[in-house]
């Protein structure tokens, strides 16, 4: 007797056992038999494509990583890595690199910095090629998203950036104008104080002051009248 069992997965090992059912009675299970289905081309694509930039920060280099297909349907013999500068480029315009089946990453060099690249990966086993992965887009040498940026701050660069902003320049101009106004106010205050002092001590323009603060004596005119001197103040 034989039976055809369908719906099994390729390249998968199964165990089989048989027993007899006769009415309400059943026999013991037979000894198990082990058999494997034949391989088939991968039925799913490589997954979880990610890109890392090298530690040395080379803007022309990147490292592409991926995970094997969920349903490889056999041992993966090779991964094919395609990349191009346009996602809609014809197949012949994609650059192709091959990676052994036991590797899950590739280092790509001589890329153009700030040039957008598109990547896709395909797996191959003994039976053929599987589907292509979704396309991944990346720009080598571009700064990482803000969420992942380093918190290190270049103090010199930040200071230069601060000093060159319009707001900073306007602030410095305002400070300069304020200092000039304060200087003018101080000069005016000192001069006003000196004028008040001079007025309080009896100073008038054209009149000399003695050291004791008194003015010169009035002029007197002497008239000789019979041996007596008559002093009249001069007008």
pLDDT digits (tens, 9 = 90+) for 153-167: 454 544 555 556 777
β strands within the chain, DSSP E: 13-16, 21-22, 25-26, 33-36, 47-52, 62-67, 76-84, 95-100, 105-108, 117-125, 128-132, 136-138, 220-225, 228-233
| 96 and 183 assigned to the same domain | no
What is the mean pLDDT of the segment spanning 65-92? 94
| 63 and 94 assigned to the same domain | yes
Would you place residue 150 in the very low, low, confident or very high pLDDT band (cuts 50, 70, 90)?
very low
Say if residue 230's pLDDT is above 70. no
Say if residue 199's pLDDT is above 80. no
What is the mean pLDDT of the segment spanning 60-76? 94
Share of the chain above pLDDT 70, in %: 73
| 103 and 187 assigned to the same domain | no
CA-to-CA separations, 102 to 66, 68, 78, in angstroms, rounded: 12, 9, 8
Q: Distance between CA 139 and CA 119 in Å, rounded? A: 11
Domain of 86, in residue numbers: 47-145
Q: Distance between CA 232 and CA 17 in Å, rounded? A: 158
β-strand partners of 190: none
Q: In the structure encoding, which two tokens stand for residue 228, read together?
A: 């007596």
The answer to whether position 24 is within a domain reads: no
> How many domains are contained in the chain?
2
Rounding to the nearest 10 degrees, give the CA dihedral for residues 36, 37, 40, 42.
-60
The answer to whether position 31 is within a domain reads: no
What is the mean pLDDT of the segment spanning 83-91? 92
The answer to whether position 123 is within a domain reads: yes
Q: Distance between CA 178 and CA 172 in Å, rounded? A: 10
| 51 and 104 assigned to the same domain | yes
The H-or-E segment that residue 185 falls in is helix 166-200
pTM above threshold 0.95: no
The answer to whether position 115 is within a domain reads: yes
| 108 and 135 assigned to the same domain | yes
Helix, strand, coil tally for the chain in percent (to 5): 20, 30, 50
The answer to whether position 190 is within a domain reads: yes
**What pLDDT does residue 155 have?**
45
């Amino acid at each position: 007797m034989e039976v055809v069992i369908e719906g099994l997965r390729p390249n998968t090992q199964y165990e089989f056992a048989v027993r007899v059912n006769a009415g309400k009675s059943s026999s013991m299970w037979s000894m198990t038999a082990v058999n494997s289905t034949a391989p088939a081309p991968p039925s799913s694509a490589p997954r979880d494509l990610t890109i890392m930039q090298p530690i040395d920060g080379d803007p022309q280099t990147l490292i592409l990583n991926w995970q094997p297909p969920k349903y490889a349907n056999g041992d993966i013999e090779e991964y094919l890595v395609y990349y191009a500068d346009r996602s809609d480029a014809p197949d012949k315009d994609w650059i192709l690199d091959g990676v052994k089946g036991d590797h899950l990453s590739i280092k790509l060099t001589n890329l153009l910095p700030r040039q957008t690249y598109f990547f896709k990966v395909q797996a191959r086993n003994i039976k053929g090629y599987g589907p292509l992965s979704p396309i991944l887009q990346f720009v080598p040498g571009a700064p990482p998203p803000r969420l992942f940026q380093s918190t290190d701050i270049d103090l010199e660069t930040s200071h230069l950036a601060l000093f060159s902003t319009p707001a900073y320049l306007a602030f410095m101009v305002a400070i300069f104008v304020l200092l000039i106004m304060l200087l003018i106010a101080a000069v005016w205050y000192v001069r006003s104080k000196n004028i008040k002092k001079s007025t309080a001590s009896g100073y008038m323009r054209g009149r000399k002051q003695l050291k004791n603060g008194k003015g010169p004596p009035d002029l007197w005119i002497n008239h000789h009248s019979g041996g007596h001197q008559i002093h009249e103040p001069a007008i």
